[in-house]
Structure 1
């Protein structure tokens, strides 16, 4: 069993004992999402810690998008619930990179690939270098926007 999944199960047990309903329901939800990922495809398999992190990242992103939608729809109570769930899940993710750190990584990648004057044609080349460095630590949409900005789009 992956260490991350084991940690989530241990924390779920602790939150149930502490009668923390929000944390319990959130951890149950993410463990269900992990199980769904494990049985997806042709045969069931145990997923790795990296794949567990990807599921966690996806769930956090869903919660943030839902919170924005509820805020736009004038449903502050639901938005607050989604934000709280995202915060609980974010505790299990690595520390997120700041905008400055992303810009530094992207500019180094643009320089190393020699893509400075190529414009948007070099997007794939630069993203290929940047993605492994930012995976799990930054939202891919934010990274792509920074690459576009630095390539002059």
Structure 2
């Protein structure tokens, strides 16, 4: 069992004992999503922590989109529920770079890859992923790389 899975199981037990119904629901939803991802990855072994990070980021992304739609539809109670789920899911993501560190990482990757035009964006993104792995949210890095390359 990976560290993330063990932590998730322990957190679920703690939330159940504390009778935190909303947190228990969110944690159960996370474990169900992990099981679905494990099944989809078969016959490969269960997902490791790096792959789980991608699953969690996808969950957060879909909830952020839902929050925007709920706000547009004047449904603040549903938006608040989604935001509470985001907070629980983000607890299992690695610490994100702040804006200054992200900008510095992008600048370093642009220099390291020798990129000069927006056509070189793939090279820069590959350099970022190789250098920073799961600590980097590629969704935040993409627009910044595009801006740096004049796109």
The normalised TM-score by structure 2 is 0.92
2:118 to 100, 117, 120: 120
Report how many aligned residue pairs link the two structures. Answer: 151
Residues 1:70 and 2:66 are matched in the alignment: no
CA–CA distance in structure 2, aligned partners of residues 139 and 68 of structure 1: 20
CA–CA distance in structure 2, aligned partners of residues 69 and 136 of structure 1: 28
Cross-structure match for 1:34: 34
Q: CA deviation at 1:152?
A: 0.8
CA–CA distance in structure 1, aligned partners of residues 147 and 89 of structure 2: 30
Cross-structure match for 2:49: 49
Q: CA deviation at 1:128?
A: 0.8
1:137 to 116, 119, 135: 135
CA–CA distance in structure 2, aligned partners of residues 44 and 32 of structure 1: 18
Structure 1 residues 41 and 18, CA, compared in 2 at 3 Å: closer, same or farther? Answer: same
Q: CA deviation at 1:134?
A: 4.3
The normalised TM-score by structure 1 is 0.91
Cα offsets for 1:45-77 (capped at 9, x unmatched) = 321111122212211222222111111111100
Question: Where does the alignment leave 5 or more consecutive residues of structure 2 unmatched?
Answer: none
CA–CA distance in structure 2, aligned partners of residues 63 and 80 of structure 1: 11
Cross-structure match for 1:87: 87
CA-based RMSD of the aligned residues comes to 1.5
CA–CA distance in structure 2, aligned partners of residues 76 and 137 of structure 1: 31
